[in-house]
């Protein structure tokens, strides 16, 4: 209690003191408010106004509420197809839900749909052929009559055929794809966290693998955000490095230390590092921190000077502003005279200097030609090195008479220059190498900063963003807007397309400029592949560009909450090199999925053809249903876990991005799939038709319905599994590499799954018995199975020697999953993609609502005629509908926006009749207007059952419906 009271008194004390100190008057000019202000513009670009629109779009839904606390259910309204073309487009925009989909998701969705259709077709054909073969062979060729007592046997055969068909379908459908994607993304996200990438949106890491451009901020990302003094000019000598204090004139050194320590905000400090071995912390103004760092580099300490002359003893302070571009502080010396220390932009302060300290620390005349020579020999070379030049000067005043401190022009003149310091925000040491990796990987890095163009160009050269002799653009925001806007001030995509390909540095940029650049690159259609843009930023101003980008990177240390909220990935160390790791992990996700696809599609092709061909020839599948399910488990769950957890390597950064339109299955992958599939089919069919002769065993073909497992078919099953295990090792490489064992022991999960699967296979074959349709094998037959499986590794080397140029037809096959163009009605104004499963579900809902609406319309018409026949027998507000079997539901129509018409044009008359008779007869116009204007309309159906006659045929019809 005492602590709280003391805190309250202390707060009140500071409030009174602060109010007293800040007493005064002022004027303020409001130039913009709301969405027209800079903050309003930023939040508009961030989409802050979309919430109200979403609330409006939610209106117009039929809400069905059940009593007794049952859950509420919402349905889209059923509207008639009236209105013009504009209304039609508006309805589609409002009622069709959009779901943004990543590049990999789109490709996988199409591939899964195509494989599923092919598997369903093969399954249906297999069942039809088996049934027809059985029926023709028994009832036509052998002319057997259908005997009732044999019906159970026939049914068992048909069930067997159906199970074979289902087995083919299960093996063909790639249900392991979602699992592989999820495992790969989750594994990558976990590992990326260790690389200082906090992923907020799961698909961002996969999208980053396709990145073709990175628009990076400068301060804090490419640089350390630590202003550091690196050059200085003291005593007529230009030091390229900070000199030893012993070589400087003592008087000049003393003036430099006092001027910097006193003539800076006392809140600006350099504190010890938080961690041992870290860099000191800079608190306050970064430029002043750089100057204080110079004092420390000169083996001096600024704090004792500040303690000797505390802030309350400062006689006069001319704070820094954009007009004077300098700061000056006046102190009173012990003899009563005054001394003013000044610092500021070198070109401004030097103009006010009439003297300069010489090499011995004495003031000499500073003539205009000396100033010009200093600008050419000192200032310009520093600026060309990307340094910010600060001039430090002083002036002494006599105490009698005391100067007129309000006459600022006279006070800030006739100065004596002490030194010129060149400070910079140094480039992070790892950034140049990281940018070189990006460029080698086919990613263009652009710097977008608010600094002046000279500093930005110098930093870009140091980072390696631009190189001498290259054809590039380095412009500021003003020139950028002049090039991309027409006479009306509107941005044109054609003009942006002429600028962004060569643009490497955009300086003095506003938040709108950065957003415009990112949007222009994304929307560009110049290249065959759409650009995938990543953006880095740390401030609120970067929020719009971070949200617009395909992948937004926010700084975890220096980033604002707005920037983090708009981003997809947060860099916990504010380091550009972490972006390169994100690129590497993104490409690894893509490759992991491709490895899994290469393995699974090989198994799919072989298993489906073997089951189909074997069933058609022998009326039985060589691989039984349980065996197929075990194979399906190997190729789906275990393979996705093994191949989706491969760690990334530096080789991923030595190739170009895949791009949005590049097929998911490359020609090399198609070659491997078909090549290994052919090898496995040859082995399987050889064992199927001549295996009993090779191993001198009984044939398993044409076995009776409930015959015991055969050694023949067990060898086929075991060999098939062995080939999949060794082909899983081949599937680790998808770009034609020969060394398939490279880095295999860096993935313990893969090794564990391979050896674990082999062990389980031994158990299944030797002890599986009838449940797995397996007969135990001796050591010799096991060795043959393993030997045939090892042939996959040798055959993989043979396939690798075949050049892709000889197999031109595979290019067509490799384009199996090329991204389709969505129909016009499925694309909104931002060209967002719609999930196929969601679209199919919506179509089913539309058909259901359409049929429901037609029945409702017909019932209401019948009710209208019945009400005219039984007028007076029932109340006019009593209406029955298809929902009268429900427990008195309440229908509430809240419709303020038009929606997709779910009724055909042929239903216009019935729709009009429905609107006519759905309201009370006493005020039909009123209710119609209520519907049109969005007023809630409540239809009570609680009395319909009681008011209707039980014997009425119409009522019976409605109840049955």
The residues assigned a catalytic role are: 217
User: CA 143 to CA 711: how far, in whole Å?
Assistant: 34
User: CA 48 to CA 540: how far, in whole Å?
Assistant: 14
Read off φ and ψ for residue 504, nearest 5 degrees.
-125, -30
Helix (H, G, I), strand (E, B) or coil at 946: helix
Which regions of 767-889 does DSSP assign to beta strands (E)?
none
Q: State how far the alpha carbon of 397 is from the alpha carbons of 317, 394, 529, in Å.
A: 15, 10, 69
User: CA 663 to CA 653: how far, in whole Å?
Assistant: 19
Contact between 676 and 796 under an 8 Å Cβ cutoff? The reply is yes
Which among 683, 695, 712, 693 has a CA at the least distance from the CA of 618? 712
Range list of H helices, 394-474 = 408-411, 431-440, 453-463
Pairing of strands 353-357, 363-365: antiparallel
Contact between 912 and 924 under an 8 Å Cβ cutoff? The reply is no
Which among 327, 167, 297 has a CA at the least distance from the CA of 234? 297
Contact between 291 and 388 under an 8 Å Cβ cutoff? The reply is no
Handedness of CA 426, 430, 433, 439 (dihedral sign): negative
Contact between 647 and 746 under an 8 Å Cβ cutoff? The reply is yes
Angle between helices 625-633 and 151-172 (to 10 degrees): 10
**Three-state SS letters, 25-90:** CCCCCCCCCHHHCHHHHHHHHCCCCHHHHHHHHHCCEEEEECCCCCCCEEECCCCCCCCCHHHHHH
Contact between 302 and 284 under an 8 Å Cβ cutoff? The reply is no
Q: Which two tokens stand for residue 319?
A: 């704070």
∠ CA 246-248-250, nearest 5°, is 90
- HSE value, Cβ hemisphere, 13 Å, CA-based, for 754: 20
Contact between 97 and 76 under an 8 Å Cβ cutoff? The reply is no
Total Cβ atoms within 10 A of residue 832:
13
Q: Which two tokens stand for residue 608?
A: 């489906």
User: CA 268 to CA 289: how far, in whole Å?
Assistant: 7
| Cβ neighbours for 117, distance < 8 A, ≥ 6 positions apart | none
Contact between 571 and 556 under an 8 Å Cβ cutoff? The reply is yes
Pairing of strands 269-271, 281-283: antiparallel
Handedness of CA 538, 540, 542, 546 (dihedral sign): positive
| Cβ neighbours for 717, distance < 8 A, ≥ 6 positions apart | 622, 623, 624, 627, 765, 773, 774
Contact between 722 and 784 under an 8 Å Cβ cutoff? The reply is no
């Amino acid at each position: 209690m005492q602590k709280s009271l003391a805190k309250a008194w202390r707060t009140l004390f500071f409030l009174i003191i602060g109010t007293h100190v800040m007493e005064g008057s002022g004027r303020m000019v409001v130039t913009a408010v709301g969405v027209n202000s800079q903050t309003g513009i930023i939040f508009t670009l961030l989409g802050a106004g979309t919430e109200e629109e979403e609330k409006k779009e939610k209106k117009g839904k039929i809400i069905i509420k059940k009593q007794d606390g049952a859950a509420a259910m919402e349905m889209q309204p059923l509207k008639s197809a009236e209105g013009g073309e504009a209304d039609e487009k508006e309805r589609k925009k409002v009622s069709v839900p959009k779901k943004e989909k990543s590049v990999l998701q789109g490709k996988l969705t199409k591939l899964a749909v195509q494989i599923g259709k092919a598997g369903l077709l093969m399954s249906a054909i297999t069942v039809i052929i088996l049934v027809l073969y059985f029926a023709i062979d028994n009832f036509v060729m052998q002319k057997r009559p259908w005997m009732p007592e044999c019906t159970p046997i026939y049914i068992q055969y048909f069930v067997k055929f159906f199970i074979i068909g289902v087995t083919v379908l299960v093996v063909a459908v790639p249900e392991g794809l979602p699992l592989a994607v999820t495992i790969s993304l989750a594994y990558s996200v976990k590992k990326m966290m260790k690389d200082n990438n906090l992923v907020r949106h799961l698909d961002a890491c996969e999208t980053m693998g396709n990145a073709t451009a990175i628009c990076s901020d400068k301060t804090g990302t490419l640089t350390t955000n630590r202003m550091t003094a690196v050059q200085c000019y003291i005593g007529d000598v230009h030091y390229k490095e900070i000199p030893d204090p012993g070589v400087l004139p003592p008087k000049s050194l003393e003036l430099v230390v006092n001027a910097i320590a006193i003539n800076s905000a006392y809140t600006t400090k350099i504190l010890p590092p938080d961690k041992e071995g870290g860099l000191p912390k800079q608190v306050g103004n970064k430029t002043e921190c750089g100057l204080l760092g110079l004092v420390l580099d000169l083996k001096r300490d600024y704090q004792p000077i500040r303690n000797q002359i505390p802030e309350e003893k400062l006689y006069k302070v001319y704070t820094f502003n954009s007009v004077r571009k300098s700061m000056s502080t006046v102190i009173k010396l012990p003899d009563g005279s005054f001394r003013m220390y000044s610092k500021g932009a070198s070109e401004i302060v030097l103009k006010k200097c009439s003297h300069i300290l010489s090499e011995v620390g004495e003031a000499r005349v500073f003539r205009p030609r000396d100033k010009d020579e200093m600008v050419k020999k000192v200032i310009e070379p520093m600026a060309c090195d990307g340094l910010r030049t600060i001039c430090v000067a002083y002036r002494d005043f006599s105490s009698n008479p005391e100067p007129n401190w309000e006459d600022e022009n006279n006070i800030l003149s006739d100065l004596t220059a002490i030194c010129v310091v060149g400070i910079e925000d140094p480039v992070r040491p790892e950034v140049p190498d990281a940018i070189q990796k990006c460029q080698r990987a086919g990613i263009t890095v652009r710097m977008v900063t608010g600094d002046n163009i000279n500093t930005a160009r110098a930093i870009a050269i140091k980072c390696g963003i631009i190189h001498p002799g290259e054809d590039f653009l380095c412009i500021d925001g003003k020139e950028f807007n002049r090039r991309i806007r027409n006479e009306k001030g509107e941005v044109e995509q054609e003009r942006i397309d002429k600028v962004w390909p060569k643009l490497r540095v955009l300086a003095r940029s506003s938040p709108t400029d950065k957003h415009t650049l990112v949007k222009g690159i994304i929307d560009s259609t110049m290249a065959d592949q759409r650009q995938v843009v990543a953006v880095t930023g740390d401030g609120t101003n970067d929020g719009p560009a971070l949200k617009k980008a395909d992948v937004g990177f926010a700084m975890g240390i220096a980033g604002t909450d707005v920037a983090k909220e708009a981003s997809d990935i947060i860099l916990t160390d504010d380091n550009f090199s972490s972006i390169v790791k994100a690129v590497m992990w993104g490409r690894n996700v893509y490759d992991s999925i491709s490895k899994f696809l290469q393995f699974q599609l090989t198994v799919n092709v072989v298993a489906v053809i073997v089951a189909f061909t074997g069933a058609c020839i022998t009326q039985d599948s060589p691989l039984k249903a349980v065996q197929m399910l075990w194979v399906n488990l190997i190729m789906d769950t275990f393979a996705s876990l093994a191949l989706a957890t491969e760690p990334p390597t530096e080789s991923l950064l030595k190739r170009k991005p895949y791009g949005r339109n590049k097929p998911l299955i490359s020609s090399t992958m198609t070659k491997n799939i078909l090549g290994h599939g052919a090898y496995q089919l040859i082995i399987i069919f050889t064992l199927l038709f001549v295996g009993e002769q090779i191993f001198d065993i009984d044939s398993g073909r044409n076995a009776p319905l409930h015959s015991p497992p055969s050694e023949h078919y067990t060898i086929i099953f075991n060999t098939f599994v062995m080939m999949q295990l060794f082909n899983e090792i081949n599937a680790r490489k998808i770009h034609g590499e020969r060394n398939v064992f490279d880095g295999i022991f860096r993935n313990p999960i893969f090794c564990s799954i391979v050896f674990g699967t082999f062990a389980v296979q031994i158990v299944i074959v030797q002890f599986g018995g009838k449940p797995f349709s397996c007969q135990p094998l001796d050591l010799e037959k096991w060795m043959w199975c393993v030997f045939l499986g090892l042939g996959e590794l040798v055959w993989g080397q043979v396939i690798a020697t075949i050049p892709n140029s000889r197999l031109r037809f595979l290019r067509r096959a490799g384009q199996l999953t090329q991204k389709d163009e969505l129909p016009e009605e499925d694309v909104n104004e931002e060209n967002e993609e719609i999930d196929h499963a969601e679209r199919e579900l919506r179509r089913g809902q539309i058909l259901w609502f359409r049929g429901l609406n037609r029945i409702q319309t017909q019932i209401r018409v019948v009710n209208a005629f019945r009400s005219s026949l039984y007028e007076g027998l029932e109340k006019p507000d009593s209406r029955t509908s298809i929902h009268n079997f429900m427990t008195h539901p309440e229908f509430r129509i809240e419709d303020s926006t038009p929606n997709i018409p779910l009724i055909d044009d042929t239903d216009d008359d019935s729709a009009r009749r429905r609107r006519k008779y759905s309201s009370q007869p006493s005020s039909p116009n009123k209710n119609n207007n209520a519907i049109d204007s969005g007023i809630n309309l409540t239809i009570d159906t609680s009395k319909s059952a009681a008011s209707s006659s039980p014997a009425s045929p119409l009522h019976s019809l409605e109840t049955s419906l």
